[in-house]
Amino acid sequence: MGFTRTFKRMPKPEPDLSLLTREQVLQALRQLDREGPRMPLSTVYDLVYQGRRYAPRAVAQLAYRLATEQPEAPWPLPAGAATNRVLEQLDFTIATKRPTLENSSLDGDVAAQEAMQELHTGITRQKPPKRKPALAASTEAISPAENTEATNLTMAQEPAAAYELPPAQPYNRATALQELFVSEQQLDAALAALHRRRNLILQGPPGTGKTFLARRLAWLELGATDAARVELVQFHPSYSYEDFVQGFRPDAQGVFRLQDGVLLDFCRRAALDPDRPYFLLIDELNRGNLSRIFGELLLLLEADKRGPTHAVRLPYAPAEAARFFVPANVFVIGTMNLADRSLAPLDYALRRRFAFVELAPEFGAPFKEFLQQHNVPTAVIERLTTRIIDLNQAITDDPELGSDYQIGHSYFCQPPTDPAATNVWLTLVLEQEIAPLLDDYWLDQPAKATAQKKRLLR
């Protein structure tokens, strides 16, 4: 007598994803970036983090292998939205796929990317006429007329500058302490560093008054607001040695000639007036390629390498030209923003030539007194200071941000003259200036950005 035995299939156990953490997903993203080029993007959804797009399932699988310490472990969830939900629960953004150019900041808007290449400022470039090919190593000079014909540039004419330097006004320690949100001890420490190294960098979060303080330190040492002995430049990615020191640049006729940059002109003026100090202020110092911009200045900046004894020959200068040196009466004050992910840190050769002073947001008694002097009501002052202090604490405690990303007091240093308008003024500053910054800080965590904005604007 035969019989049939029926076996009941046991349910497949649910995968344990409790081991998976946000830090492991971040570690997976960093590993994928290091291994590059990145895997192809997904067909339906992308994980968006810091402006880049990743395939969610591939990221989850790598993070799962890191969590389980099993290099060959497969991602246990089937294809579909389940993987997206797991990543969203860890505060990652999952977006519907759009056509993209890989790593494009314009996020898939190909037409906008092409339009970006057509942007211009002041110059309209038309298609040049066809010319006979020239020898690659030709040394024949191109005349201004030929150069104009070849490029067919229509230059936007600007009116000549018609202003004079403002007259110098006396400036003393009492005025500085009244204007600055620093204590007397902090001011003395900054001045001591400037005297010791002759080169000072003011660093800190955006909006902490670094440029404001740099100019006041110069005025304090000069004893007056003497614009003739203070030179301000701002570094940026396109700034070069030829702009700052010396190089071949076109003149008004379009002919390339050897021209001195800002530094040589400034040092020449200082050398003719050796008994008085001169201050070179470099704003956003770390936005430029410093090794390329500074050149010989990297040596001559040192306090014990000043003067004609240590003069060097510049690479573009002819052999008979005078050697270059930095006069002993030149002081350099730079400002440095630490909150920009795109900026590279200073190398140690440059760092050891500067003294560094850290600036922090100031929402204490000096700032409150400043607002009271501008007729801001006490209730508005308390609303401003308590909420920004709480926000800065949340930013500091975030492991992906930190204290360098705090909100500075400069956002609030221009209150309206009418006390009745201050409440609306504060609301607008928070909505239009601070809130968009928080969206950028927590770009990959929109829920966290929304929660912080609600607390700020409640």
128/63: higher pLDDT: 63
Element (H or E) spanning 123, and its range? strand 123-125
**DSSP letter, residue 434:** I
- Residue-level pLDDT at 342: 59
Joined tokens for residue 400: 């992906």
Q: Which of 10-19, 154-163, 363-372, 445-454 has the lowest mean pLDDT?
A: 154-163
Query: What tens digit of pLDDT does each residue of 165-210 get?
Result: 788 899 999 999 999 988 899 999 999 999 999 999 999 999 999 9
Joined tokens for residue 297: 């200045």
155/277: higher pLDDT: 277
- Ordered by start, the domain boundaries in the chain are 22-104, 173-358, 365-457
Give the residue among 173, 185, 107 at the shortest CA–CA distance from 443.
107
Cβ neighbour number for residue 181 with a 10 Å cutoff:
24
The residues, ordered by sequence, that sit 6+ positions from 163 with a Cβ below 8 Å of its Cβ are none
Average pLDDT over residues 124-150: 42
52/265: higher pLDDT: 265
The residues, ordered by sequence, that sit 6+ positions from 256 with a Cβ below 8 Å of its Cβ are 248, 249, 250
Query: What tens digit of pLDDT does each residue of 36-45 get?
Result: 655 455 557 7
Rounded to two decimals, the pTM is 0.65
Element (H or E) spanning 96, and its range? strand 93-96
CATH superfamily of 173-358: P-loop containing nucleotide triphosphate hydrolases (3.40.50.300)
Average pLDDT over residues 214-220: 96
Three-class DSSP labels, 365-419? HHHHHHHHHCCCCHHHHHHHHHHHHHHHHHHHHCCCCCHHHCCCHHHHCCCCCCH
Query: What tens digit of pLDDT does each residue of 281-324 get?
Result: 999 998 888 888 998 888 898 889 999 999 999 999 888 888 99
**DSSP letter, residue 420:** G
- Long-range CB pairs of 126-131 (<8 Å, 24+ gap) are 126/152, 126/154, 127/152, 128/152
The residues, ordered by sequence, that sit 6+ positions from 346 with a Cβ below 8 Å of its Cβ are 286, 290, 336
- Residue-level pLDDT at 171: 94
Strand segments, DSSP code E, in 169-285 are 199-204, 230-234, 246-250, 256-260, 278-283
Residue found under tokens 């953490």: 21
